[in-house]
Amino acid sequence: MDCVQGIIGAYRWGTVIESWSRSHVLEQCGIEPSPSHSSLWNGMVAPYTRLTLFGFLWYQGENNAVFNNAKYGCTFPALVEDYRAAFRVPDAAFGFVQLATVSYGSPDLRYAQLRWHQTADEGTVPNPRLKHTFMAVAIDTYDEESQAHPRYKPIVAARLAATGLRTAYGLEDFPEQGPQMVGATSTDAALLLTYNQAVHLNATSLSGFYVCCEGEAACLEATEAAAWPEVVKEAVSQVRV
């Protein structure tokens, strides 16, 4: 029998993860039953379970910033494992887009917290709770007009493709992750962050650095090139914020 390759799309605007999850998955995360839970799983995912899917792409999260936010660190990894089980591919690659900034300058930290929960509270993927996963960061693509869905989608797609080619296809010329902070020191004038990869900023489509401070309960963005942190472009970049 010939193998047919293709992409199946299941899309719905403004949803919570509970609608895409099976009931037993929600139960294990302590989610109270609701008539709306599992509705999109039943209508848009379950009909395809006779097929074998070898990978998934996931772009969802902002609605859970205000609904069961604290439990997303359980519901998301549980959904990933359940989808793999339902389609009988236990190591299926699972890629997702981390939330953009959504509400610039807001004192509300729920979106920042949800970004953390998207990584199963580890900060990055893959990790022991989210194995064989890959992620595209979108926080620096924010623009005031589009909010949750930035206009600069080619950048998000390129990032997802790069890490996906490594995770899903094993192409070692591509990175498994984006730049990760490996150290931090402070002076009276600046905070010096050290990353494990070079950092490149593009004035035409990226805002630069975006920082959320829980103590001050606010998120701040460097919106102009003149406001960007100083970047030393070496094998290991040092960034002053």
Place of tokens 């630069």: 208
Cα→Cα distances 113→123, 124, 188, Å? 11, 13, 28
Between 237 and 209, name the one with better pLDDT: 209
Give per-residue pLDDT as tens, 43-54. Answer: 999 999 999 899
Q: Mean pLDDT across the stretch 100-117?
A: 80
- Strand pairing partners for 107? none
Q: What distance in Å separates the CA atoms of residue 182 and residue 64, rounded to the nearest whole number?
A: 30
Q: Which of 50-64, 109-123, 139-153, 217-231 has the lowest mean pLDDT?
A: 217-231
Q: What percent of the chain has pLDDT over 90?
A: 54
Prior bond of 229 cis (ω within 30°): no
Query: Nearest 5 degrees, angle CA 182-CA 198-CA 133?
Result: 65
Please name the helix (run of DSSP H) or strand (run of DSSP E) that holds residue 210, with its range, or none. Answer: strand 210-213
Give per-residue pLDDT as tens, 19-63. Answer: 999 999 999 999 999 999 999 999 999 999 999 899 999 999 999
Q: What distance in Å separates the CA atoms of residue 129 and residue 139, rounded to the nearest whole number?
A: 23
The closest of 225, 45, 150 to 136, measured between CA atoms, is 150
Q: Mean pLDDT across the stretch 163-174?
A: 94
Question: Considering the entire predicted model, what is its pTM?
Answer: 0.84
Q: What distance in Å separates the CA atoms of residue 149 and residue 126, rounded to the nearest whole number?
A: 24
Q: What domains are defined for the chain?
A: 1-178 (3.40.50), 179-241 (no CATH)
